[in-house]
Amino acid sequence: MPRVLLVGGPCDGQRKNISADAFALGETTCKGETYVYDGVTRPPSQLPHFTFRKGAPPPGGTGGGTPATYAPVFYRSWADLEDAVNRRLPTALHRITVSQVRVLQTLAHKRKVR
């Protein structure tokens, strides 16, 4: 039975033992809310993270070809896209802006070539 860390939602920070089937599916529930595996490979010292997905359908499904079959992949992909747009992109843009300001400040103090 894998042990996982729940991130966000009503069970934020809780550790939960889930079945191997639930881990393979990439979904679990806590307090009626759905948590989806984030797909990030972590060191053995850290637990796998299952992230809260507001409005996600409860895990399960009838099998081959149903939307529930593809849901874990979709939610992981969507989580990666959200992370890129909401966290990594603003950070990268801020670093670029800071770098540009530093370069302009350095150039302002340099002697001009004639």
**CB neighbours (10 Å) of residue 107?**
9
Cβ proximity of 37 and 72 under 8 Å = yes
Residue 6, SS3?
Answer: strand
Q: So what's the pLDDT on residue 77?
A: 81
Per-residue pLDDT of the chain (114 residues; tens, 9 = 90+): 789 999 888 999 999 999 888 888 888 888 888 888 888 888 888 888 888 887 766 655 544 445 555 666 777 788 888 888 888 888 899 999 999 999 999 888 887 765
Q: How far apart are CA 77 and CA 32, in angstroms?
A: 23
Q: So what's the pLDDT on residue 69?
A: 55
Q: So what's the pLDDT on residue 109?
A: 82
The verdict on pTM exceeding 0.85 is no
Q: So what's the pLDDT on residue 53?
A: 81
